[in-house]
Amino acid sequence: MADTPKEIYFKKKEIAEDSDGSKELQVQRFSRLNRLLHIIMIISFINLALTGMSLKFSYTGWAVFLSHLFGGFESAGWIHRFSAVIMILVFTMHIIDILRQKKKEKKSWIMMVFDTDSMMFNKKDLHDLIDSIKWFLGKGERPEYGRWTYWEKFDYFAVFWGMIVIGSTGLTLWFPEFFTQFIPGWAINVATIIHSDEALLAVGFIFTIHFFNTHMRPEKFPMDIVIFSGRYPLEEFKMDRPEEYRQLVERGELEKYMVEPYPSIVLRTIKLFGWAALCIGFSIVIWIIYAMIFAYK
Amino acid sequence: MLKLKIFTVFAGLLFLLLNIETAAQDKSDCLMCHGDKSQYGERNGKKFSVFVDEKKFNSSVHGKIDCIGCHVDLKGSDFPHTDKVQKATCGGCHKDIQKMYDESLHGQAIRKGDNLAPYCKDCHGNHEIFPVKDPQSSVYPMKIPMLCGKCHREGSPVQIQRHIPQDSILENYTESIHGEGLLKKGLLVAASCVSCHSSHHILPHTDPRSTISRNNIAHTCAACHVGIEQVHRRIIKGQLWEKEAHVLPACVDCHQPHKIRKVFYDQGFADKECLTCHERKNIKSSVDGRSLFVDYAKMKESMHAKITCSQCHTGVNPSKMRPCENLSNKKVDCTSCHSQVGSDYQRSIHGKLFAKKDPNAPICSECHGTHEILGKKDPNSPIFATNIPVLCGNCHREGEKAAARKHSSEKNIITNYSESIHGRGLLKSGLTVTATCTSCHTAHKELPHTDPESSVNPKNVASTCGACHHGIQEQFEKSVHSAFVTKTDKKLPSCNDCHTAHGINRTDTEGFRLKIMDQCGKCHEVIAKTYFDTYHGKVSQLGYSKTAKCYDCHGSHDILPVSNPASHLNRKNVVKTCQKCHTNANKQFAGYFTHATHHDPAKYPLLFWTFYGMTGLLVGTFVIAGIHTLLWLPRSLQWRRRLKKKQSSKDEKENSKE
């Protein structure tokens, strides 16, 4: 399997380690907290997806199997609610983290939004999008992507939006007796549809488009572990995000982000986890497609 | 009229004056007034004729007797005599008869003041009494049945208001051998009412003096049937007729009173004669070699202990050495005693098959046995409750003859029953009151459910189940599902449509609670399907019974239109219904659409548009992101190759460095 660039790289690195003990430094991309939150979010999201989809597609055999696997609809329900709470906590933590960052770096809101490192869409993203399409169609070079590409920003806000929509409707469905004191009974039906279809969108999007965009692209195949390790080789960084690299070099900050790579045991664990998440995700996608095409009622 | 009355009074006075010294009143004296057809008397405000036809009176048996011979209270009275005339006294001459009459039921009733009780004149007439043998006589033998029948016919006040143990007396008599002889064939010697009951000494059969009491009946019958004991010699030994009349069967035990046509001549035919052969254990049929042995001791413990061989095996000839030699009825006909059961059986599918000579058709003995028939309360009996499923299963178990021939939707009847609540109650808990096959299908009148008379016909199922589940039947018959409430051409459900016929389960088990589409969904298909679009339905589909099922909200047997104030879903009750599970449910909570579907824009526009809005968002996102990804794919592959090249050139460089 020496044909993939990353594997070649890792193999090389191991050899290098063995031969002279020195380690080639890598570029830090994600903070420890963000990586942790992402891992927790994966676990909670997969649990939410499995338990939720088993209810949504209850007319299929796999749904019945899943529901029993989770110990029945009631215990599946509690796992769903527990995971939802975790997800909300992850979301809250992320917000707190942003606020803390703002305080630490003493940035104004405007700076937060219009900073080059900001998750907010900006003019460059529009240019990047147009240039990307040109590139896809063979009418240009690959755009020089920065710290956050437009599709990454899209993913981020998709999740942000999903959190609010699914979270709020989910709470309504969790406590209908409380909420119907303020909203009519039919709103519960509407909430059900929104919750369920938005969840379908989220699950579908994450397990196909997001998987492809960030992990499964041929150049990253079989998976990009940077979200777990938080660091990647300088070469890869240069090729992937030339704009960001250029800025870092210009500011002379590159050295600040150079860190030691993880030992191979950590990387292997990460890969194992990644594979598990990928498999579950793809299974869910296949089950949903099966349910919608062959068993739709 | 007034003139006439005055004249009568004057004439009477004149007569009295003229005859003052001649005290004797003869007939002609009375007829002076009573010979006049226009004469009338008055009693209790009612006028009645007091005319006496002299000619007829003279030709009657009492023609030579003076009026005062009977009207004794008028003896020596003045003309015109008082209005309050006593009834004519017959007993003055007919002393013995009067005594018998006084003792009789009729006489007793008179003394009690019974206004329906007959006097002498009610049977014999008053002035125009003729000898019994004179056809003019009201008590001429030919007239007796109608005379007694005046009061003792069906529907008469006597028959209705007084305690008469027999019914249809006149009708039965008319059709009996006696009635036919007398009335159709004119045989004056044929027995009429009075021949058995006597004419004046009519007593109840419980009275030992009665002609029809058990001890006297033989004597009464023998008045005509002289030497009848000779005919019955096989049954009762001669000398016993007189000696032990009280233990012998009375004539009416076999020859029913009044009917006397349907006769069990063979009853009492000594079993001993049969047993001379049939007690031998090795006795075998010369035709098919089957054993003809009868365990007499066991038979005497059976339900038929008091029944003799010849009562069932009719057609024996007592005068033959082997009475069964020319036995005409080879098969026993149980219906000669069990007539109601017999007619039920003939109506049943079993009986119909038997009539068609179907070899599979069960006959009485197949269920009840032959000589050792036990009652249904005897645990050893094949028709004891716990044995019935086995008994019916002999033919109706899968693979057996009835199951094989039946083109019914019901399969595995016996297995399903055994696992049902009824079957487990009966077979595992030993509850003999539990429904068995016969509780629903009846014991003898089993009919296919398509027959309107069948106990399992959809129309009758509710009352069949209601025999035990009465309270449920009451609820059901008030519900929308009852034909009493809903008039429709569509099929209404009966108990078995939801509960199944044989595999009836406890309604709180998962097996029952998850079969929504087999129950309500069978008819309410569309609305039942929409249930599965909601949380309740989805959980049900996952195989869990805990969420609300149709009947948890709608009620089960007491389903009523929502407009009915007693309905569980009526505006007033619906919150309470939700609160059964959702303790804190409020009025708005109850506004949740439990049958919501996003496929119906007319009924649920909000849900429809929400769904399509969400679907649009979903499809839009996937289309845009999908196109983006697909376009990216070839470039990404290209990029991969570039990376690879770069990597290998770098490796080469490093290698050359080394």
pLDDT band of residue B405 (cuts 50, 70, 90) is confident
A268 lies in a domain? yes
pLDDT average, residue stretch B16-20: 48
Nearest by CB: B625 against A68, A176, A209: A209
| B649 close to A (CB below 8 A) | no
Beta bridge partners of A258: A27
The per-residue DSSP string of B325-338 comes to TT-S--S--GGGT-
Q: For chain B, what percent of residues have pLDDT higher than 70?
A: 88
The pLDDT of residue B24 is: 54
A131 lies in a domain? yes
Cis amide leading into A222 (omega within 30): yes
Using alpha carbons, select from A88, A267, A272 the residue that is nearest to residue A171: A88
- Are A5 and B591 a contacting pair at CB < 8 A? no
**What part of B 605-644 touches A (C-beta under 8 Å)?**
606-607, 610-611, 614-615, 617-618, 621-622, 625-626, 628-629, 631-637, 639-640, 643-644
Query: What is the pTM assigned to this prediction?
Result: 0.64
- Are A218 and B611 a contacting pair at CB < 8 A? no
**What part of A 214-233 touches B (C-beta under 8 Å)?**
217-219, 221
Shortest CA gap B494–chain A (Å) = 29
Q: Give the lowest-confidence range in A11-20, B179-188, B349-358.
A: A11-20
Residues of B within 8 A of A73 (CB-CB) are 539, 542, 544, 546-547
Nearest by CB: B542 against A3, A63, A208: A63
Q: Which domain holds residue A110?
A: 24-294
Residue of B nearest to A13 (CA): B651
pLDDT average, residue stretch B255-277: 66
Residues of B within 8 A of A151 (CB-CB) are 628
| A7 close to B (CB below 8 A) | no
- Are A64 and B636 a contacting pair at CB < 8 A? no
Using alpha carbons, select from B656, B99, B637 the residue that is nearest to residue A212: B637
User: Average per-residue pLDDT in chain B?
Assistant: 83
| A16 close to B (CB below 8 A) | no
Is B247 or B366 the better-scoring residue by pLDDT? Answer: B366
**What part of B 509-538 touches A (C-beta under 8 Å)?**
529, 532, 534-535, 537-538
Is B385 or B333 the better-scoring residue by pLDDT? Answer: B385
Which one-letter DSSP state was computed for residue B19? Answer: T
Residues of B within 8 A of A68 (CB-CB) are 543
In single-letter form, the type of residue at position B178 comes to H
- Are A58 and B539 a contacting pair at CB < 8 A? yes
In contact, B550 and B531? CB cutoff 8 Å: yes
| B546 close to A (CB below 8 A) | yes
The pLDDT of residue A111 is: 81
Residue B505 has pLDDT above 70, yes or no: yes
| A59 close to B (CB below 8 A) | yes
Give the span between the Cα atoms of B205 and B216, in whole angstroms: 9
**What part of A 68-87 touches B (C-beta under 8 Å)?**
68, 72-74
Residue A189 has pLDDT above 70, yes or no: yes
pLDDT band of residue B329 (cuts 50, 70, 90) is low
Residue B509 has pLDDT above 80, yes or no: no
3-state helix, strand, coil in chain A (%, to 5): 75, 5, 25
- Are B593 and A189 a contacting pair at CB < 8 A? yes
Give per-residue pLDDT as tens, A76-85.
999 999 999 9
pLDDT band of residue A20 (cuts 50, 70, 90) is very low
Shortest CA gap A85–chain B (Å) = 21
Report the complex ipTM.
0.87
| A127 close to B (CB below 8 A) | no
Give the span between the Cα atoms of B332 and B151, in whole angstroms: 41
| B322 close to A (CB below 8 A) | no
Give per-residue pLDDT as tens, B635-644.
888 888 887 7
Shortest CA gap B537–chain A (Å) = 9
Residue A48 has pLDDT above 80, yes or no: yes
Residues of B within 8 A of A54 (CB-CB) are 542
The pLDDT of residue B20 is: 45
Give per-residue pLDDT as tens, A223-257.
888 999 999 888 888 888 899 999 899 988 888 88
| A161 close to B (CB below 8 A) | no
Residue of A nearest to B593 (CA): A186
A88 lies in a domain? yes
The pLDDT of residue B244 is: 62
Q: What CA dihedral angle connects B359, B361, B365 and B366, to 10 degrees?
A: 90
In contact, B61 and B129? CB cutoff 8 Å: yes
Residue B160 has pLDDT above 70, yes or no: yes
Enumerate residues 6+ apart whose C-beta is below 8 A from A162. Answer: A198, A201, A202
A9 lies in a domain? no
pLDDT band of residue A213 (cuts 50, 70, 90) is confident
Residues of B within 8 A of A205 (CB-CB) are 621-622, 625
A166 lies in a domain? yes
A64 lies in a domain? yes
User: Average per-residue pLDDT in chain A?
Assistant: 87
pLDDT average, residue stretch A150-177: 93
The pLDDT of residue B267 is: 45
Which one-letter DSSP state was computed for residue B503? Answer: S
Q: How many domains does chain A have?
A: 1
The pLDDT of residue B260 is: 63
pLDDT band of residue B408 (cuts 50, 70, 90) is confident
Q: Between A123-136 and A150-174, two packed helices, what is the crossing angle to 10 degrees?
A: 110
Which one-letter DSSP state was computed for residue B42? Answer: E
- Are A205 and B625 a contacting pair at CB < 8 A? yes
Residue B530 has pLDDT above 60, yes or no: yes
Give the span between the Cα atoms of B47 and B42, in whole angstroms: 4
Nearest by CB: A5 against B593, B615, B644: B644
Residues of A within 8 A of B640 (CB-CB) are 5, 218-219, 221
pLDDT average, residue stretch B188-194: 87
Residue A286 has pLDDT above 90, yes or no: yes
- Are B606 and A64 a contacting pair at CB < 8 A? no
| B161 close to A (CB below 8 A) | no
Using alpha carbons, select from B381, B300, B301, B382 the residue that is nearest to residue B309: B300
Residue B265 has pLDDT above 60, yes or no: no
Domain containing A232 — which CATH number?
1.20.950.20
The pLDDT of residue B616 is: 95
Give per-residue pLDDT as tens, B414-456.
989 999 999 999 999 999 999 999 999 999 999 998 899 999 9
- Are A133 and B631 a contacting pair at CB < 8 A? yes
The pLDDT of residue B622 is: 94
**What part of B 68-127 touches A (C-beta under 8 Å)?**
none
In contact, B478 and B558? CB cutoff 8 Å: yes
pLDDT average, residue stretch B538-560: 88
What phi, psi does B49 have (nearest 5°)?
A: -70, 140
CB atoms within 10 A of CB B520: 22
Give per-residue pLDDT as tens, B81-108.
777 777 788 888 888 888 889 889 898 8
* Interface with chain A: mutation pick from B535, B553, B627, highest number of A CBs within 10 Å: B535
- Are B631 and A235 a contacting pair at CB < 8 A? no
Give per-residue pLDDT as tens, B273-314.
788 888 888 888 888 888 889 988 888 889 888 787 877 887
* Interface with chain B: mutation pick from A65, A189, A240, highest number of B CBs within 10 Å: A189
A287 lies in a domain? yes
Give the span between the Cα atoms of A161 and A202, in whole angstroms: 10
Shortest CA gap A297–chain B (Å) = 9
| A285 close to B (CB below 8 A) | no
A2 lies in a domain? no
In contact, A221 and A4? CB cutoff 8 Å: yes
Q: In the β-sheet with A258-259, what is the strand arrangement from edge to edge?
A: A231-233, A26-28, A258-259
Residues of B within 8 A of A217 (CB-CB) are 632, 636
